[in-house]
Amino acid sequence: MSHQALYRKFRSKTFDEVIGQQHVVNTLKNQILSSNIAHAYLFCGIRGTGKTSTAKILARAVNCTNSTDGNPCNECEMCKSILDETNMDVIEMDAASNNGVEDIRELRDKVKFMPVKSKYKVYIIDEVHMLSKGAFNALLKTLEEPPAHLIFILATTEPQKIPATILSRCQRFDLRRITIDDIVKNMRSICNEVGVEADDKALKLIACNSDGAMRDALSILDRCMTFNSEKIEYDDVNELLGIVSFDSIIEVCDYIINKDIKSSMTLINDVLNQGKDLQLFIEEIITYFRNLLILKTTNLTQNLIRITEDNIDSLKRHIDKLSVDEIVSLIGKLSDTLLECKRAMNPRILFEARIISLMEISQIDISTFEKRIEQLENTIKNGITIKDVPKQANRQEVSIKREITSREEIKAAKLDRSSANVAAVAGDEEAENRIRDNWNDFLKLVRSENVALLAIVRESKLAYVREKIVCFEFDSKFTFHYTAANQEKNKTKIKEILTRFLNAEYNVNFIIKSDKDEAETVKSMDDIYEEIKNAFGDDKVVLK
């Protein structure tokens, strides 16, 4: 007889054998005991959590002639025929390959017929989310008003892709990821039954890499038994999975934390020379720091992923060496590295360069950095020079202070060159001429003071200078600039710059071009009188 995979050989045959889904099996058993069976069920969950197994158990349980406590007996004629897949009343259908409208129409025509020998005709549709829109519409009417002898059991890994009209007509059950302890317990039972010895550490490693799916765990276990039929060991599992051992992950993370470049490069070289997958290696490092972050912030061990109780001590050893901000920064940079490695021509070189940069760059705590900035601001505000900085000050602080002081001096020098030795304007006409003739110099002065203001002012032009007021006008298409210029803080700043430029006190006003035109239409009474006289004659007009 040919080899049968472990996940098929040890498939659950009763509700009591279903692992980790107690909330589902209890409800189904109660429905069967009370004869309160629904016409449509929907089982959701990730791969390998027991959706199809539970569906087959339910199909046998509703047709079993000798059920016990809601479980199928698996001994009666009905149960045996369903187990042997010779029962014509239980139809299992794969929606991935039968997803067309015609497939569902054919199904809809067949469901009208009564069961051949069973109590219920049961349709199990696996991966139901793969049905086309037309197929769902064809199924909808049958789900809405099914015959009394018909039960639909739908299974899917992606319930969000199923139309709401279908979901509302089914009793939905969400199957959870199976815990590591439950997976290990089941694998231990199977190993004892087949007579294979297995290390607890090896079984835990298999469970951690199954991602909560029992089928994945049993598939890995099957490979391990083929590799060594006498004993399953931790190193063998590592070798078969192609993953880096957890000891190596701890070691490389320890080197990163302690900034030991030489040792980390040696270890990375050894790991990659063994043919380990680089992306999986990076993912494991990220997972380690993620677990470290969770443990540091919550002090909870049950939320850790892909790690056993034996390895928690290594995490605790690193907790006090890194702050939360440093761990978050490491996770972010490593995640970016993983993304870049997927697109890189030579991912190994990129990875090694990123690891070195992680250890070269000093990880400064944000609170410390904020204190340093505050000290620098106080230094500049109080006019303290570099000579006043204590000798024991950090070199980085001194460098930053020197750079800021230098920038302030350059800025002040520019302002001095723009306004020093400039005679004050004598009146409005001279002020207007100075602005018009030296417009670019005025813009340079604005730029040296505030680049954002330059973007506003350069879109304007001088309208007039009148009664100690300098008026700038904007074209009607620059309404945004006009609004920004008239903000109090911007207007005050431009007034200060203009006063320095003219070496005299002047106010500032901004207008839209249309406003200027209206302002110019305002005329004196003498002008109006002259126009009337010209129109009607001197003898006809008398000014009173």
SS3 content of the chain, % helix, strand, coil (to 5): 60, 10, 30
DSSP 8-state symbol, 420: T
Assess contact for 470 and 495: CB atoms under 8 A.
no
- Ranges of beta strands (E only) in 185-274 are 197-198, 231-232
Q: Could you give the 3-state DSSP secondary structure of residue 180?
A: helix
Supply φ then ψ for residue 300, to 5 degrees.
Answer: -110, 135
Q: Which residue is associated with the tokens 């009763």? A: 14
pLDDT above 80: residue 366: no
Give the whole-angstrom CA distance, residue 283 versus residue 278. 9
Q: Which residues of 119-153 are buried (b: 16+ CB within 10 A; e: fewer)?
A: ebbbbbbbbbbbbeeebbebbeebbeebeebbbbb
Check residue 235 and give its pLDDT: 84
Q: Could you give the 3-state DSSP secondary structure of residue 85?
A: coil
Give the whole-angstrom CA distance, residue 304 versus residue 281. 18
Residues 6+ apart with CB under 8 A from 444: 418
17-31, 191-205, 216-230, 376-390: least confident range: 376-390
More confident residue, 167 or 317: 167
2-16, 125-139, 366-380, 526-540: least confident range: 526-540
Check residue 416 and give its pLDDT: 47
Per mean pLDDT, which of 29-43, 365-379, 388-402, 414-428 is the most reliable? 29-43
Check residue 21 and give its pLDDT: 92
To the question of pTM greater than 0.85 for the whole model, the response is no
pLDDT tens digits along 201-218? 889 889 988 888 999 999
Strand partners, 385: none
pLDDT above 80: residue 333: yes
Check residue 146 and give its pLDDT: 86
Average pLDDT over residues 166-175: 93
Residues 6+ apart with CB under 8 A from 258: 321
Check residue 542 and give its pLDDT: 60
What band does 457 get if pLDDT is binned at 50, 70 and 90? Answer: confident
Check residue 305 and give its pLDDT: 73
Q: What phi-psi label fits residue 537: left (phi over 0), alpha (psi between -120 and 50 degrees) or beta?
A: left
What is the separation of C-alpha 22 from the centre of its chain, rounded to a whole number of angstroms? Answer: 32
pLDDT tens digits along 42-63? 999 999 999 999 999 999 999 9
Give the whole-angstrom CA distance, residue 157 versus residue 508. 68
pLDDT tens digits along 476-497? 888 878 888 888 888 888 888 8
Check residue 186 and give its pLDDT: 93
pLDDT above 60: residue 519: no
- Mean pLDDT across the chain: 83
24-38, 239-253, 389-403, 463-477: least confident range: 389-403
Check residue 532 and give its pLDDT: 62
Work out whether strand 469-474 and strand 507-512 pair parallel, antiparallel, or are unpaired: parallel
Q: Which residue is associated with the tokens 């698996």? A: 74
What band does 264 get if pLDDT is binned at 50, 70 and 90? Answer: very high
What band does 277 get if pLDDT is binned at 50, 70 and 90? Answer: confident
What band does 540 get if pLDDT is binned at 50, 70 and 90? Answer: low
Of 259, 253, 221, nearest in space to 6 by CA: 221
Check residue 175 and give its pLDDT: 94
More confident residue, 201 or 361: 201
Q: Which amino acid is at 107?
A: L
pLDDT above 80: residue 325: yes
Check residue 56 and give its pLDDT: 94
Q: Kind and range of the H or E element at 233?
A: none
Residues 6+ apart with CB under 8 A from 151: 37, 38, 39, 40, 41, 59, 62, 120, 121, 122, 123
Q: Could you give the 3-state DSSP secondary structure of residue 125?
A: strand
Check residue 285 and give its pLDDT: 93
pLDDT above 60: residue 330: yes
Of 222, 237, 231, nearest in space to 197 by CA: 231
Check residue 334 and give its pLDDT: 94
Q: Which amino acid is at 357?
A: S
What band does 244 get if pLDDT is binned at 50, 70 and 90? Answer: confident
pLDDT tens digits along 399-445? 545 554 555 554 444 444 444 445 677 788 888 888 888 888 888 88
What band does 392 get if pLDDT is binned at 50, 70 and 90? Answer: very low
Supply φ then ψ for residue 34, to 5 degrees.
Answer: -95, 5
